[in-house]
Amino acid sequence: MKKLLLPLLGILPLLSFAGGFQVNLQGTKQTGMGHLGTSFHLGASSAFFNPSMMGLDPNKFSIEAGANFISSSVQFQNGRTGVSEFTDNPLGTPFYLYATYKINDKLSAGLAVYTPFGSTVVWGDDWSGKYLIQDISLSAIFIQPTLSYNISDKLRVGAGFAIVQGKVEINKALPVPIGNTSTVNLQGSASSLLPSYSSFGFNAGIHYDVNDEFSIGLTHRSKVDVELDDGVADYSKDPVLVSSFPDGKFSADLPLPGTTTLGIAYNVSEKLLLSLEGSFVQWSDYQSLDFDFSPNTSSLQDSENERNYEDAMIFRIGAQYSYNEMFDFRAGFYYDQSPIQDEYFNPETPNSDNIGLTLGLSGHIGERFGFDASFLYVIGTERESEYQPANFGGTYASRSSIVGLGVNYNF
Amino acid sequence: MKKYKLLYLLPAALLFGCEPEIEDVATNGGSADFSVYVAVGNSLTSGIQGESLTLKGQEYCYPNIIATQLKSLGGGEFKQPLLKGECATKGVFTTFYPVPTSNLVLPSIVLKATPTGLAPVFPDPTMDWYSAPEFFENISAEGPYNNVGASGAKVGSLNDPAFSSTNNWFERFSSPGETVLEAAMKNNPTFFSLWIGANDVLGYSTSGGDEGGRAITSPTEFARDLNEALDTLTRTGAKGIIANIPSVPGIAYFNTIPLGTILDAAQASALTAGYAGYNAALKNPLLRIPAAEVAQRTITFTAGQFNYFVVTDPTLKTDRTSAGIPNIRQITSSEHLILRTPQDSLLSGWGTAKPIPGIYHINQEELFKINAATADYNSIIKNAADLRGLAHYDAYAAFNVISTTGIIEDGISLNGDYISGGMFSLDGVHPSTRGHAVAANGFIDAINAKYGSNIQSVSVSNYPSVEVTP
């Protein structure tokens, strides 16, 4: 298993195709049915979807890993000029790795490694919004040790804490009145493992079997502040601007919002499972992206950039059909609301209300080994928005195709 | 059933890839015909930047930007009297008189790193002349030209047959005796823009007001000449737009040189001592200077504070120069010093130990005349536009916003500050390239509003900022 995973770990750029820069691709099985899995068990990935369900695994030990291959495109039609511009995003490959272990009938332990936030948007060096953003790449990896406990046959709880590794890189052109090719490159990273850093996340869940047919799950994944303390600001500029824009440091805080999810699963028959979920994402924590530059000059002041995100909802519906011993088929649909107001829509996160259509397939080879595949098509609905503080806007729309592949091994 | 639909959709999505498709904007010309556009005006129209003409300035002039946007609405070729040869890149400074020999011109103002920092460097008339015979070649045979803007044109120049022999800029591309309006009408325009009038007041202002010797055109003459020009331009049924004049005292040219300086204790006491005799003389009852004027003229310096400069002001009511009392006073906060006030002189004592000559100073009375003339012209322009049903671009209002609060376009902050504001070129009078893009968008908005067209604007971020010359 480790051999398979190593090359995936090396490829990090992620893509934004969920609300804001949230990435909802934490399990290929779940992705195949609308990315829901809070209220029913689907293998080791439960460590993420609802930690309380780890004990539901029929196996002693279960491990699951996978990656997604995202190709996406955002179109911007400038509201002033009518000219369309497209992103040239690289292939994104977020990944996940889960392992659960049943210590006894009551207690299970697990480890989850996943990428719940990330975004790579490449507009190019010379597009009309270059003074807002040329390209941005941000990613956060969560490493989450987890425990679950079965309170009774019907009720279980679980929780884990998450060590967060975040990094961000931004390129943009400098809107200075002289010289035409001046740009800034901002790079920063943060880690919960650093002594200066205080922020951990947690992921807690509860799961209840109402009867043989219905079960309910509720989870909360906490807000995490990514504190970029030692960022590097590197200017490439006209030589006359050297004193105005000295290379230096910056710090910035990027909040990753908390998410509360309530799900219900209905076993229609032995073969067919239906599920509904609603998530509440507390994006209103993201009010402003502030850069504290050092050193400051009269041209290089600390910058406050309004974001004013609003809380957003995600609604999901999905179905799984167990065709036979070998194959499961899945399909789903979700509606993922954008947290961004029309007046504060910055092309660094070109996120509109997303509609996701998904298909999935799982296969079992022998008793222990399984593979999963999913396909997700995301329609980023057309919206007319602007970033008022920069007086820049137009019509945005996006499309993404995401192929997910996963493997699991159980014994 | 829904499931079947989804199953059908997903492979389709795979096949057709993942590019979103926002519908293209449908363009329409409204009630105007943009097939032949001519631009009539002065240096703003011809593309002067940094007090000089260059090929880049011509490329980025607002008429050329508008003409490019008109292409998708049936707009034809927009021919400009482009500079050729060396002067296309080096530029031709507007002030090329006196010319030692007919083929010599001065290059552009450039922005350069100097020993004291980044600064605009003006061509030196004692040594920078270069030979530019191409500039003096007559290119009228290659016309007609859609851009007939000529630096220095006043409203009265448009119908003046002598203009083609007295103005080098127009002489270049006109035949002898041809008027600006005739040159415009040779195109059989279906649409025109007219931005004229700034020189009718600006020449007076930039030369320092009453001391400069260039008069303000009277509103009566202005109205007569403007209406005559519009009668000609609309003669064959062309529609068009007319822009008014931005506030003259609002331009960087009048708002860059500080009006005073902070003095230390030693400087303040030395200067106070220096002006003690003058201050005492003002109060001499034999000179009969009214008390209010004595107060206006009394010169005081305070250590550690901002002290307004001393200027010569021949418009002071009580002239006692014959008694050896100079016509001097301290400038007030609402007045202006022009950009061409020699800075080295300021550093060596102008404004403090010595008065700044009046030609560099716009005083209250001159300001009043400038503002009154601008207001008169602008109401004449508005009436003329309304009378003929023409579009009207309120450049006065637009540039006022820029110089008072500033604007933001595509993430670029623009305001009226010299160089750092990004809106004015190095002369502090003419817009920069981005300033032209902003103006072009203003024209386009006004045309669309009047004629129901939807000419697309331009992204200011696609236009370069002021270049630094290595």
Compare B114 and B73 and report the one with higher pLDDT.
Answer: B73
The answer to whether position B25 is within a domain reads no
Same domain (yes/no): B267, B359: yes
Q: Do B18 and A84 touch (CB under 8 A)?
A: no
Find where tokens 């719940």 sit.
Answer: A116
A180, A390, A399: residue with CB nearest B465: A180
Q: What is the mean pLDDT of residues B257-274?
A: 91
Which pLDDT band holds residue A14 (cuts at 50, 70, 90)?
A: very low
The answer to whether position B330 is within a domain reads yes
Find where tokens 């006196």 sit.
Answer: B98
Superfamily designation of domain A2-410:
Outer membrane protein transport protein (OMPP1/FadL/TodX) (2.40.160.60)
What are the phi and psi torsion angles at A82 (to 5°)? 75, 0
Domain locations in chain A? 2-410
Rounded distance between C-alpha atoms, residue B328 and residue A228, angstroms: 60
Same domain (yes/no): B157, B63: yes
Q: What percent of chain B has pLDDT over 90?
A: 65
Q: Determine the structural domain holding residue B336 and report its residue range.
A: 260-363
The predicted pLDDT at position B323 comes to 86
Express each pLDDT in B173-182 by its tens digit. 999 999 999 9
Compute the radius of gyration of chain A from its Cα atoms.
22
Express each pLDDT in A269-299 by its tens digit. 999 999 999 999 999 999 999 999 999 988 8
- Contacting A residues, span 59-78, partner chain B, CB-CB under 8 Å: 71-75, 77-78
Q: Which of A321, A377, A378, A400 to mutate to test the interface with B (most CBs of B within 10 A)?
A: A377
Last residue of a domain, one of B363, B388, B414: B363
- From the list B236, B418, B263, the residue with the least C-alpha distance to B351 is B263
The predicted pLDDT at position A12 comes to 32
Express each pLDDT in A41-96 by its tens digit. 999 999 999 999 999 999 999 999 999 999 999 999 999 999 999 999 888 889 99
The predicted pLDDT at position A16 comes to 37
Q: Is the dihedral of CA B43, B46, B49, B54 positive or negative?
A: negative
Is the predicted pLDDT of residue A195 greater than 60, yes or no? yes
Same domain (yes/no): B162, B304: no
The predicted pLDDT at position B457 comes to 96
Which pLDDT band holds residue B8 (cuts at 50, 70, 90)?
A: low
Express each pLDDT in A100-153 by its tens digit. 999 999 999 999 999 999 889 999 999 999 999 999 998 899 999 999 999 999
Give how far A73 is from chain B: nearest CA, Å. 6
Which pLDDT band holds residue B301 (cuts at 50, 70, 90)?
A: very high
DSSP string, A194-212: STT----EEEEEEEEE-SS
The predicted pLDDT at position A2 comes to 30
Which pLDDT band holds residue A13 (cuts at 50, 70, 90)?
A: very low
Express each pLDDT in B137-167 by its tens digit. 999 999 899 999 999 999 999 999 999 998 9
Express each pLDDT in B418-446 by its tens digit. 988 999 999 999 999 999 999 999 999 99
The predicted pLDDT at position B161 comes to 95
Same domain (yes/no): B97, B133: yes
The predicted pLDDT at position B344 comes to 77
Same domain (yes/no): B402, B457: yes
Q: What is the mean pLDDT of residues A2-19?
A: 34
Last residue of a domain, one of B343, B363, B383: B363
Rounded distance between C-alpha atoms, residue B342 and residue B264, angstroms: 23
Q: Do A359 and B7 touch (CB under 8 A)?
A: yes
Same domain (yes/no): B382, B438: yes
Q: Do B22 and A382 touch (CB under 8 A)?
A: yes
The predicted pLDDT at position A5 comes to 30
> CA-nearest residue of chain A to B438?
A80
Express each pLDDT in B109-134 by its tens digit. 988 887 777 788 888 888 889 999 99
Specify the range with the lowest mean pLDDT, choosing from A6-15, B238-247, B270-279: A6-15
The predicted pLDDT at position B213 comes to 52
Give how far B465 is from chain A: nearest CA, Å. 5
Q: What is the mean pLDDT of residues A192-211?
A: 84
Specify the range with the lowest mean pLDDT, choosing from A335-344, B7-16, B206-215: B7-16
Q: What is the mean pLDDT of residues A305-309?
A: 93
Q: How many beta-carbon contacts under 8 Å exist across A and B?
A: 124
Asked if the bond preceding B98 is cis, omega within 30° of 0, the reply is: yes
- Per the CB < 8 A criterion, the answer to whether A164 and A200 are in contact is yes
Count how many domains chain B has: 2
Express each pLDDT in A353-404 by its tens digit. 999 999 999 999 888 999 999 999 999 999 999 999 999 999 999 999 999 9
Express each pLDDT in A157-185 by its tens digit. 999 999 998 889 999 999 888 877 889 99
Q: What is the mean pLDDT of residues B220-228?
A: 96
**Chain A residues within an 8 Å CB radius of B465:** 176-180
Same domain (yes/no): B104, B232: yes
pTM of the model: 0.90
Q: What is the mean pLDDT of residues A325-352?
A: 95
Average pLDDT value for chain B: 89
A304 and chain B in contact, CB less than 8 A? no
Structure tokens at B198: 């700034």
Residue A331 parent element (H or E):
strand A327-336
Would you give the DSSP letter of residue A91?
A: P
Last residue of a domain, one of B337, B363, B389: B363
Rounded distance between C-alpha atoms, residue B464 and residue A130, angstroms: 13
Rounded distance between C-alpha atoms, residue A301 and residue B373, angstroms: 42
Is the predicted pLDDT of residue A241 greater than 60, yes or no? yes
> CA-nearest residue of chain A to B120?
A178
How many CB atoms lie under 10 A from the CB of residue A62?
A: 26
Same domain (yes/no): B151, B251: yes
Domain of B382, CATH number, reads 3.40.50.1110
The predicted pLDDT at position A259 comes to 96
Question: Distances from the Cα of B467 to the Cαs of A107, A238, B49, B139, in angstroms?
Answer: 69, 10, 12, 29
